[in-house]
């Protein structure tokens, strides 16, 4: 039960920290959320810098250009990235965290050679075409059809919650290739170039007011058969490889960020006065901050335990559902606390009175999606109770 | 004692409801984004008696009570009607033209001890601004303030302005008037929060009954059913306590006004937040879109929570009162 | 929307209050919870005093000796009873609140004549034989068999959660008279004299350490056929009459008591110091007390609204489930708060250091049963969501 | 960093577990009601190394660390082993005979600022009583105290005595020792609370998988499944933070000891309470009986919550620490 990072880990931390200290300020300020070309350039530019410095794909195998870092190094990496307020993975998200890893695991040599280096260097942006209006929590109910026609699949359907579709080069796409099979058996996983004819992208504004998500309408889109990843009709298994990547260590940075958010609450509370008293003197607030600190420390310890276990098994376990559930609900509690401290200043989504309301409000609104995306909290509780605790499955 | 909504009250509420349904649809609200105010709508609300409701008939008002006003504000809350509704209503009889809608009156509650930045809702549409202090009410002309517009308010239907200094105004009420205004304001806003509590549950019910996943309406999953059952309990409790606060203001012999008001505002603020939060979650991804109007309710809740005392402030007041009673 | 009690109500309050002021102290101290003869005598003696003073069965029809009070008078009655710390209904509970009302509504003239006056005067104590080990939340699954044999039903089975069985004269008993019918259709409602042969009572100690509940084993017990209430095999409907009585105004006294409990928390907090500071100065505690006060006021207002509505319809509506759910969960929160204030003194179930730990701890432990008995909180949420909100029923 | 339980630790924990299973069954515990102490059991625990676990081998101990002790106390918590376990363990090396079980050592934490009444657990079985002040540790002979037995303790396996005055004792440790004892005590007790958190969930799972209503195991109803899923998350989070606190005491370079300890105790207290509360509810009526042992866990939780700082006190300490860090 050894909690201390090794000397090698600390050495890695020192090098990375030193590099970030220069690289982060040098990369400049993020563009407006509405400036899509700017966002792509900013995010992929940062990815390129990571690559050049040897920090791209820390968890990717060396043979694919990754760093093949140990899991503790990965943890150090995510901690330092968050601590330095380095740019978020942004438009590289799907490529680096979903599509890339899936191609590495399930793709052909040709697919790997074509995409992996470019994703890693920030030259290729991916988006995700999984969910459909009728297939959310019940993803396997997806209806987008792909019909084989010579060298292509002709794809017709309607995808939703596709992030960064506007600036993507490829889409990891789930399609139904066998409508007669049971719902999990007829799905395939395709790499769809976004410049094919028949693709119509319609942004879907969120409650934050951004357009990070889109609906994607597909009308007879000819996706080359060579872009099939895994076997035809084996897409559900391939997908689950991706989903398990998503529930692994990827939250580490956000968790560290969550601790920073709790500090922000304290900082704001120390700057706001009510009835002539500094809000931080409110013991009811402090009690809640204290409990949250205890829970954040518990979450972080859970993460370390999970990483230590994953280091042996190679794959994050089902416990990742517990981490996802706990993390997202804690995140919302921290964001709500900030709202209470801000009071009327929290009615503005830009900084007022010298208070950082913009960040606090954006974070709060964004937090509402965390218990929905990537499997709702209710779905996570089902997974935990059925697959971990062995309780009876839902009657279908 | 007969605590039910009586026939006249039901008719009053129904009148406002059908007005709002026709006049303030979600589509019409979308067009008000960034403005949050429309003078014709304001005049129509005045004509419906929204502002002069409690003004004596002799003074050109409708001559009804606070319990009636609560029912009206519940409907305004349900329909998300924007504008400085409570302030203008409170100003009827105090500021010429408030009751008939010719003067749009806003306000700033300075009695709660919050310092700068001062945030004023709907500033650019105001003819008169009330300043509510613990011991007096003042009025000032909006042009006397150096107000900076906030480009991105949280509630797209409630534009806000930032003010760092508050000028001296004309005193138009004393300590008792100020206290009454705080109480009445808190109850009216609690009515709006009640409306949000109800409508967000109704939206959740409609959505989850219609949305199918795993070949079943998602509203049939017990976990979601129980969330909505809790929302229902919250709604019923909130309706009761908010109505009770209105009735107690009308008849102080029916209870302790200060306690009734604080219980109502503390409860309504919590309930509106929890039910609108639940609605976002129950709508799944759709709840996170701008298109589905759940977010308007969530955001309006924050606006209403932060006026005439927050839930926390009212909870503190209740504890203070109980502590004194026990002493 | 009139909240004020009428002059008649206030007159009733004044008379009742004056009577209670003398009668309560005169009735003396309650016996030990283990002294069953004493408890029966104490509780029935109080019932007799209520009867003699005209306060027994306030909600019962005049023709059955009740007061037939208006619902607001009932509310006043329960308020005053609680305020005066009058003896709890105790062993008269089932007779006064379940059995009696059911006999009044569904019984024969002979049954009414025989039982109603005696229940009202505290001469007859009833218990409830509904639940069985296999039939809890799913009460209709009960298996206790009653077979017609001439003038008697021969009853065999196993009942549980029967309160006050040790001192009861009669038991309101649910039995299965038609094992071939669907589970709701073969049930009958019997009045079982507790002195019949074949009844074996085994106390079932609770976590409080009392024996208010028993298991009742029935072996070929000959219950006279004339003791059938309602039609044979129509017992489920008859039962639901009882259950709806249970969810009506009966909580009013306990709700008032709950407000007193919150005051007790404040009182204890004012007497306990920690780190040299009076605990009541802890604003985190006060914030929670304030929120609870708001919720208790909401609950009380809900009760008044429900009573006003019931006054018209004559029967408490389904909304009673909401009141039950909310009341019981609030009760537990108040009890937990008291535990925190008591700290280590709360490790004793008798008064220590001059603090009223006995009451607080007893209340807390007892509160754990509230969200279970009379339909668990989960069952209440099902009722609300299915019968009030119209959400789909559980798949069976 | 490898935060997993290593092989030696797993073996240690397994040893204690199988000892407890054979020696401290629920039936055996029932016989200890009202007494809460059995000298043979105490000797056997000493022989297992429970008290001398962290004492250097040179001094007759086992020479292990706090992380190991946490695993042992987790098992003691699961099995509801009664007695002043943590105090006697902490006294090893400080009080002769504590490590080998010949001296039963209890204690009273006076550093938390709680005034009279002073409640002492297991008083009648104590050979030595430790008084833990903020700046020192004292020892007194139990007979120097005027202790009144409490006839009905909450936990039937933890007899308590009431004391109104505390005599002066012999100083056997300074401020640093006192702080270390508080930290270590809090972590050991957190281990016990973790055990309760785990066992009550296990009991809920077993019961709800077996109990049928409406022709289905009740554990198949989504509302109950989700309650248990939350219990599971709580258990996993608690295990991690409690283990981390033990490891941090062993290696202060791995983190901030004070923060690690407070996070563990605050979390463990909340989790044990919530999971045992859930277990009562999930067991339905049976959970309210004396026969089903869930109530033992619920009651023991209160005992452990109220020693070496409550969850609230540790939360306050964490906030204080964070406030200073931000300043």
* pLDDT for residue A275 is more than 90: no
Within-domain flag for B283: yes
Q: Model confidence at C380, in pLDDT bands (50, 70, 90)? A: very high
Annotation says A336 is catalytic: no
Helix (H, G, I), strand (E, B) or coil at D264: helix
Within-domain flag for D284: yes
Within-domain flag for D11: no
* pLDDT for residue C381 is more than 60: yes
Q: Which of B62, B60, B55 is nearest to B91 (CA)?
A: B55
Contacts with B216 from chain C: Cβ below 8 Å? 392, 395
Under 8 Å CB pairs connecting chains B and C tally to 185
Q: Report pLDDT for C253.
A: 81
Instruction: Name which of A240-249, B259-268, C307-316 the model is least confident about.
Output: A240-249
Geometric angle at alpha carbon B298, from B294 and B303, rounded to 5°:
140
> Hey, which residues 244-283 in chain C have their CB within 8 Å of chain D?
272-276
- pLDDT tens profile B38-59: 999 999 999 999 999 999 999 9
CATH superfamily of A7-88: Acyl-CoA dehydrogenase/oxidase, N-terminal domain (1.10.540.10)
Nearest CB among A204, A343, A378 relative to B223 is that of A378
D327 Cβ under 8 Å from any chain A Cβ: yes
Range(s) within chain A of domains with CATH label 1.10.540.10: 7-88
d(CA B226, CA D62): 52
Range(s) within chain C of domains with CATH label 2.40.110.10: 127-233
Number of domains composing chain D: 1
Q: Which of B258, B197, B118, B191 is nearest to A343 (CA)?
A: B118
Question: DSSP letter string over D27-68?
Answer: HHHHHTTTT---HHHHHHHHHTTTTTTTS-GGGTS----HHH
Q: Model confidence at A241, in pLDDT bands (50, 70, 90)? A: confident
Question: Cβ of C137 and D213 within 8 Å?
Answer: yes
Q: Report pLDDT for C245.
A: 57
* CA-CA-CA-CA torsion sign (B103, B109, B115, B119): negative
d(CA A236, CA B220): 26
d(CA C314, CA D61): 75
Range(s) within chain C of domains with CATH label 1.20.140.10: 248-388
Q: Report pLDDT for A349.
A: 94
Q: Token pair for residue A141? A: 């109910």
Q: Model confidence at C248, in pLDDT bands (50, 70, 90)? A: low
Within-domain flag for D161: no
In eight-state DSSP terms, residue A99 is I
Residue with tokens 């709580």: D234
d(CA D186, CA D109): 11
Q: Report pLDDT for D302.
A: 98
Contacts with D221 from chain B: Cβ below 8 Å? 222
Q: Which of A166, A171, A167, A168 is nearest to A221 (CA)?
A: A171
Select which of C123, C246, C254, C288 is catalytic.
Answer: C246
- Torsion of the alpha carbons at B41, B42, B43 and B44, rounded to the nearest 10: 50
User: Around Cβ D142, how many Cβ atoms within 10 Å?
Assistant: 17
Helix (H, G, I), strand (E, B) or coil at C351: coil
Q: Which of A174, A205, A207 is nearest to A191 (CA)?
A: A174
Find residue C223's DSSP bridge partners: C153
Phi-psi region of B284 (alpha: psi -120 to 50; beta: other; left: phi over 0): left
Nearest CB among A266, A286, A391 relative to D316 is that of A286
Q: CA of B289: how far to CAs of B259, C38, D121, in Å? A: 39, 66, 57
Q: Token pair for residue C184? A: 């709701």
d(CA A162, CA C145): 62
B237 Cβ under 8 Å from any chain C Cβ: yes
Within-domain flag for B136: no
Instruction: Name which of A20-29, A64-73, C164-173 the model is least confident about.
Output: A64-73
ipTM of the modeled complex: 0.95
Axis-axis angle for helices D257-282, D311-326 (nearest 10): 140
Mean pLDDT of A171-184: 96
User: Around Cβ D274, how many Cβ atoms within 10 Å?
Assistant: 18
Q: How far apart are the CA of B263 and the nearest CA of chain C, in angstroms?
A: 4
Find residue C156's DSSP bridge partners: C145
Q: Report pLDDT for D230.
A: 98
- pLDDT tens profile A285-321: 999 999 999 999 999 999 988 888 877 766 666 778 8
Q: Report pLDDT for C239.
A: 87
CB-facing half-sphere around the CA of B114: CA atoms within 13 A: 27
Please check whether the domain covering C248-388 is classified as CATH 1.20.140.10.
yes
Residue with tokens 């995510």: A78
A140 Cβ under 8 Å from any chain B Cβ: no
Q: Model confidence at C316, in pLDDT bands (50, 70, 90)? A: low
A275 Cβ under 8 Å from any chain C Cβ: no
- pLDDT tens profile C134-144: 999 899 999 99
* pLDDT for residue C36 is more than 80: yes
Q: Which of A308, D102, D298, A170 is nearest to C332 (CA)?
A: D298
Q: Which of D147, D163, D81, D158 is nearest to D122 (CA)?
A: D158
Within-domain flag for B149: no
Q: CA of A228: how far to CAs of A110, A124, A144, A172, D136, in Å? A: 11, 18, 15, 10, 71
Range of the domain at B280: 176-326
Q: Report pLDDT for D20.
A: 97
Axis-axis angle for helices B257-282, B294-305 (nearest 10): 150
Within-domain flag for D301: yes
Geometric angle at alpha carbon A226, from A221 and A229, rounded to 5°:
95
Q: Which helix (H) or strand (E) holds A193?
A: strand A187-193
d(CA D51, CA D61): 8
* CA-CA-CA-CA torsion sign (B17, B20, B23, B28): negative
CATH number at residue B273: 1.20.140.10
Q: Block means of pLDDT (10 residues each) for chain B, length 327 residues?
A: 91 97 94 95 97 95 96 98 98 96 96 85 98 97 95 97 94 97 98 98 98 94 98 98 97 94 98 98 96 97 97 97 93
Nearest chain C residue to A281 by CA: give it.
C283
Fold of C127-233: Butyryl-CoA Dehydrogenase, subunit A; domain 2 (2.40.110)
Q: Report pLDDT for C247.
A: 45
Contacts with A207 from chain B: Cβ below 8 Å? 280, 288-290, 295, 298
Q: Report pLDDT for C306.
A: 86
Q: Report pLDDT for C249.
A: 65
Percent of chain C with pLDDT over 70: 96
Residue with tokens 């407006």: A32
Q: Report pLDDT for B145.
A: 95
Q: Model confidence at C308, in pLDDT bands (50, 70, 90)? A: confident
- pLDDT tens profile A192-218: 999 999 999 999 999 999 999 999 999
Select which of A15, A123, A232, A246 is catalytic.
Answer: A246
Q: Higher pLDDT residue, D46 or A137?
A: D46
Q: Report pLDDT for A396.
A: 65
Q: Model confidence at C59, in pLDDT bands (50, 70, 90)? A: confident
Residues in chain D with pLDDT values less than 50: none
Contacts with C392 from chain A: Cβ below 8 Å? none
Nearest chain A residue to C394 by CA: give it.
A395
> Hey, which residues 347-386 in chain C have their CB within 8 Å of chain D?
347-350, 352-353, 355, 361, 368-369, 371-373, 376-378, 381
* CA-CA-CA-CA torsion sign (C45, C50, C54, C58): negative
Q: Model confidence at A245, in pLDDT bands (50, 70, 90)? A: low
User: Around Cβ A172, how many Cβ atoms within 10 Å?
Assistant: 26
Nearest CB among D113, D162, D287 relative to C274 is that of D113
Find residue C358's DSSP bridge partners: none
D302 Cβ under 8 Å from any chain C Cβ: yes
Q: Which of D92, D86, D93 is nearest to D108 (CA)?
A: D86
Question: Cβ of B119 and A209 within 8 Å?
Answer: no
In this complex, the chains that touch D, judged by 3 or more CB pairs closer than 8 A, are: A, B, C
> Hey, which residues 318-347 in chain A have their CB within 8 Å of chain D?
319, 322, 325-326
Q: Token pair for residue B44? A: 């129509």
> Hey, which residues 204-223 in chain D have their CB within 8 Å of chain A?
205, 208-209, 216-217, 219-220, 222
Q: How far apart are the CA of A316 and the nearest CA of chain B, in angstroms?
A: 26
Q: Report pLDDT for D311.
A: 97
d(CA D311, CA B12): 52
Question: Cβ of A290 and D322 within 8 Å?
Answer: yes
In this complex, the chains that touch C, judged by 3 or more CB pairs closer than 8 A, are: A, B, D
Question: Cβ of D289 and C207 within 8 Å?
Answer: yes
> Hey, which residues 217-256 in chain A have their CB within 8 Å of chain C?
none
């Amino acid at each position: 039960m050894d909690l201390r990072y090794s000397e090698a880990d600390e050495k890695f931390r020192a090098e990375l920290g030193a590099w970030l200290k220069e690289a982060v300020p040098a990369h400049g300020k993020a563009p407006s959320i509405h400036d899509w070309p700017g966002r792509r350039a900013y995010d992929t530019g940062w990815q390129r810098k990571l690559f050049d410095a040897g920090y791209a794909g820390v968890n990717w195998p060396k043979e694919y250009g990754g760093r093949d870092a140990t899991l503790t190094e990965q943890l150090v990496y995510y901690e330092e990235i968050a601590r330095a307020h380095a740019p978020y993975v942004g438009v590289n998200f799907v490529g680096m965290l979903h599509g890339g890893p899936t191609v590495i695991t399930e793709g052909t040599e040709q697919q790997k050679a074509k995409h992996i280096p470019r994703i890693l260097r920030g030259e290729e942006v991916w988006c995700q075409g999984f969910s459909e209006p009728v297939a959310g929590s019940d993803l396997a109910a997806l209806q987008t059809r792909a019909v084989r026609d010579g060298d292509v699949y002709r794809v017709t359907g309607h995808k939703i919650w596709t992030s960064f579709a506007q600036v993507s080069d490829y889409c990891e796409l789930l399609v139904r290739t066998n409508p007669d099979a049971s719902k999990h058996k007829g799905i395939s996983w395709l790499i769809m170039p976004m410049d094919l004819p028949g693709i119509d992208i319609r942004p879907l504004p969120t409650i934050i007011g951004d357009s990070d998500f889109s609906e994607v309408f597909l009308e007879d889109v000819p996706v080359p058969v060579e872009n099939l990843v895994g076997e035809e009709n084996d897409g559900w298994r391939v997908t689950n490889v991706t989903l398990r990547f998503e529930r692994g260590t990827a939250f580490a940075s956000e968790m560290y960020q969550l601790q920073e958010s709790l500090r922000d609450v304290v900082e704001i509370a120390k700057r706001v006065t009510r009835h002539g008293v500094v809000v931080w003197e409110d013991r009811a607030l402090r009690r809640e901050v204290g409990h949250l600190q205890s829970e954040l420390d518990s979450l972080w310890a859970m993460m370390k335990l999970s990483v230590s276990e994953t280091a042996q098994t190679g794959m994050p376990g089902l416990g990742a559902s517990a981490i996802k559930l706990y993390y997202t609900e804690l995140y919302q509690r921290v964001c709500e606390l900030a709202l209470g401290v801000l009071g009327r200043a929290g009615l503005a989504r830009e900084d007022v009175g010298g208070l950082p309301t913009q960040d606090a409000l954006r974070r709060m609104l964004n937090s509402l999606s965390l218990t929905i995306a990537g499997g709702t909290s209710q779905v996570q509780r089902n997974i935990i109770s059925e697959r971990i605790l062995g309780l009876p499955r839902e009657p279908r | 004692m007969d605590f039910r909504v009586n026939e006249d009250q039901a008719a009053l509420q129904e009148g406002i409801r059908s007005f709002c349904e026709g006049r303030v649809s979600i589509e019409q609200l979308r067009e008000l984004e960034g403005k949050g105010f429309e003078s014709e709508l304001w005049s129509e609300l005045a004509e419906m008696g929204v502002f002069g409701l409690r003004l004596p008939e002799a003074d050109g008002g409708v001559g009804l009570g606070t319990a009636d006003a609560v029912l009206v504000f519940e409907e305004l809350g349900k329909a998300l009607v924007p504008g400085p509704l409570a302030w203008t209503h409170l100003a009827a009889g105090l500021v010429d033209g408030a009751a008939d809608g010719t003067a749009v009156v806003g306000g700033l509650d300075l009695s709660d001890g919050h310092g700068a930045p001062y945030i004023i809702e709907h500033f650019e549409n105001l003819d008169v601004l009330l300043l509510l202090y613990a011991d007096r009410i003042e009025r000032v002309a909006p042009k006397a303030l150096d107000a900076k517009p906030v480009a991105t308010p949280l509630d797209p239907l409630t534009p806000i302005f930032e003010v760092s200094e508050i000028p001296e105004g004309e005193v138009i009420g004393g300590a008792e008037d100020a206290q009454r205004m705080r109480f009445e304001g808190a109850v009216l806003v609690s009515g709006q929060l009640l409306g949000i509590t109800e409508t967000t549950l109704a939206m959740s019910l409609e959505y989850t009954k219609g949305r199918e996943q795993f070949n079943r309406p998602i509203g049939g999953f017990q976990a979601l059913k129980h969330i909505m059952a809790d929302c229902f309990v919250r709604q019923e409790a909130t309706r009761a306590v908010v109505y009770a606060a209105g009735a107690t203001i009308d008849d102080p012999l029916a209870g302790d006004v200060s306690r009734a008001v604080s219980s109502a505002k503390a409860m309504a603020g919590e309930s509106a937040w929890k039910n609108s939060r639940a609605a976002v979650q129950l709508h799944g991804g759709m709840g996170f879109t701008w298109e589905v109007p759940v977010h308007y309710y969530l955001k309006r809740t924050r606006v209403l929570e932060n006026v005439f005392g927050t839930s926390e402030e009212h909870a503190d007041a209740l504890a203070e009162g109980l502590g004194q009673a026990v002493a």
